[in-house]
Amino acid sequence: MKACCPDSSSVGETVKIGRQSDAFVEHLSNLTLSNYTDPLISAILALAAGGILAMLADTMMPEAFENGGPLVALATAVGFLCAFLLSHVVG
């Protein structure tokens, strides 16, 4: 009966492929993001965050208000405030 775990040669190949893809992603990000200024990167990230918030407000908030009542707004604001503060404290 064959063992449930892969043999060591296939694990080594997987690690090798993972390292190659990590290096490729790092190289790609250095090429694309190194030419932009900090304010432009901040604006791109803010646009992405706004899109996610708009999607949440459109799809999830109506159902949350229907099921949870007015305290949903307070819980959402507190959660956003906690995430904002943690991002500034942790870095």
Amino acid 82: pLDDT: 92
Q: Which domain holds residue 36?
A: 9-59
What is the model's pTM? 0.44
Q: In the chain, how long is the greatest CA-to-CA distance?
A: 60
Whole-angstrom Cα distance, residue 24 to residue 62? 41
- φ and ψ at residue 3, rounded to 5 degrees: -70, 155
Q: Are 20 and 53 part of one and the same domain?
A: yes
Q: Are 26 and 43 part of one and the same domain?
A: yes
- Residue 3 forms part of a structural domain: no
- Residue 18 forms part of a structural domain: yes
Q: Would you write out the chain's pLDDT as a tens digit for each of its 91 residues? A: 455 555 555 545 555 555 666 777 777 667 666 677 888 888 888 899 888 888 887 888 888 888 888 888 888 889 888 988 998 888 6
- Residue 17 forms part of a structural domain: yes
If you write DSSP's letter for every residue of 16-53 in order, what string do you get? HHHHHHHHHHHHHHHHHHTTS-HHHHHHHHHHHHHHHH
- Residue 1 forms part of a structural domain: no
- Residue 2 forms part of a structural domain: no
Domain count across the chain? 2
Whole-angstrom Cα distance, residue 84 to residue 68? 24
